[in-house]
Amino acid sequence: MPDTQSPNREIDPGTDEGIKESYGDFDYQRPPFPIPEERWHAEPAYAEIDERPMWRIEERIFQFAVDQIQLPPHLDEDHPLKESAIALKNAKRELDQSMDTMWEKSGKGVLKRIRDARIQMQATELLSVSPETIISIPQETQGYSKEEEDKDRGHHYTKKALYFQNLSCFLQLLSAYKKEEDPSFETGIEDLDEFIEWTEVIQLGHLYYAAVRSAVHTGGHKHNKAKRRRKDGQLTMNHIYSVCVDVINGYSLELEMEPDPEKRKAIFRNMKLGVTEAEGHDYAEDHRNLGIGFLKQKLAEKPTWDTGIQDRLTRKRYPSISGETNIMYRRKEEEGALILRGIQALTKPEDEKDHPGYLKRQMLPLPEEEREVTLRVKAADRLNNLHTLKIQKLQTQIRTVLETPDIIEMMEEIEEGKPIFIQRKNRLIEENLHWCKELLKEDSLESGDRESLEGVRALMLQKAA
């Protein structure tokens, strides 16, 4: 179990571990990004959701400086690569301005309080404090109304989406130019193809996060307000974010161990699928009247966006370019269906009598590669559930612990040759065994529950040996 000391500590200004509000979503459940000023840090509740590796990737993406790219000197002024470089600079400037607007209007007060609230939120999760004690952000601070903040936030989301689209356009054109026009051209970007892959992973995380957050907070039905928090008191989006970080960290560790280029491509593809499933994994269950229909719409819709980007991508007709810059809407039909199948497999049936054994019943029919992605999401979800289990009702604790062996057994069926998959499985065994032992100390257990928990405890001890 995590140490229950406060997660806050001072960071040496000479290190690279500090973080500051920058291009984040201005929510205390969504962290900012690492840049060299105003250093502070909150330790993760457990290792799998340590955000620092991802922050460093995001820093590279959001601080991407097109000025550092030496474009070929002979390009015509109307060459799409040159036009794209200019457009990306403009998109970055507009993104900065949208962030500065909120920063200046709040007199830096709102963002500081957001930061402090997020630290306290993490502390309450570590200490399992009752949800009623969790801090909330004031509706207005220094004259910056909630309505005005929401409007500026929406503007910021739009500028961030356009920044991603312009960055994707520039990187695709740069890669195509090198492959198809001048293979000797030095781009100045270390491992350009993998930088493009990482950009798409982070783009998916940010854009789906904004879409799901908007639906959770303002979806327009009577249950939405209540669904901002889960039964354990944790913010819905905080849980979703933790699952995403766990999924990204797991695949990142796989990349560190895999030298084969083709296998690395497959890992990136599965990471993108996993991040997308993680963003939507609870939505279909928590918001059944919107649920799968909303997620299907988000996977399929094509928004109106800057047509100049599309023109720059298609004008030269590079065979290696897809013609789309928004990974959120670039899904092949079968890939979108795959994501929806995974989310549906994770969704608990509405009728309680169908709950026992539902995970195996819904996940085992999936093809093995799909099942592996979905199991990674479920393992990350369950690990977060176990870390916030203490403030759940006793019956919920028991049900969660009794259900977890199904997840572990499905992971064992496809774990061969997957060391990170095995590590995640072992973490579930460790946490579930801990909770078996804790629950068996309860004097109020009914005999049937005690017998079931004893059985799970014995199984966990056997698997941990």
Span 217-239, pLDDT tens digits: 665 444 445 456 666 666 677 78
Phi, psi of 144 (to 5 degrees): -90, 100
Angle ∠(161,206,49) on CA atoms, nearest 5: 165
Contacts of 48 (CB under 8 A, 6+ apart): 245, 246, 249, 250, 380, 383, 424, 427
253 by Cβ neighbours in 10 Å (0-12 / 13-18 / 19+) ranks as middle
Of 395 and 67, the structure prediction assigns the larger pLDDT to 395
Phi, psi of 290 (to 5 degrees): -115, -60
Residue percentage of the chain with pLDDT more than 70: 69
Give the model confidence (pLDDT) of 249-286 as tens digits.
999 999 999 999 999 999 999 999 999 899 888 776 76
Is residue 353 a contact partner of residue 381, using CB atoms and an 8 Å limit? no
- Residue 24 CB: number of other CB atoms within 10 A? 22
Is residue 420 a contact partner of residue 400, using CB atoms and an 8 Å limit? no
Helix (H, G, I), strand (E, B) or coil at 218: helix
pTM: 0.82
Whether 248 shows a pLDDT value over 70: the answer reads yes
135 by Cβ neighbours in 10 Å (0-12 / 13-18 / 19+) ranks as middle
Number of separate helices (H) and strands (E) present in the chain: 16, 2
**Type and span of the H or E element at 412:** helix 394-413
Confidence of residue 441 (pLDDT cuts 50, 70, 90): very high
Give the model confidence (pLDDT) of 10-42 as tens digits.
323 333 333 333 334 433 334 433 323 333 334
| pLDDT mean over 63-83 | 87
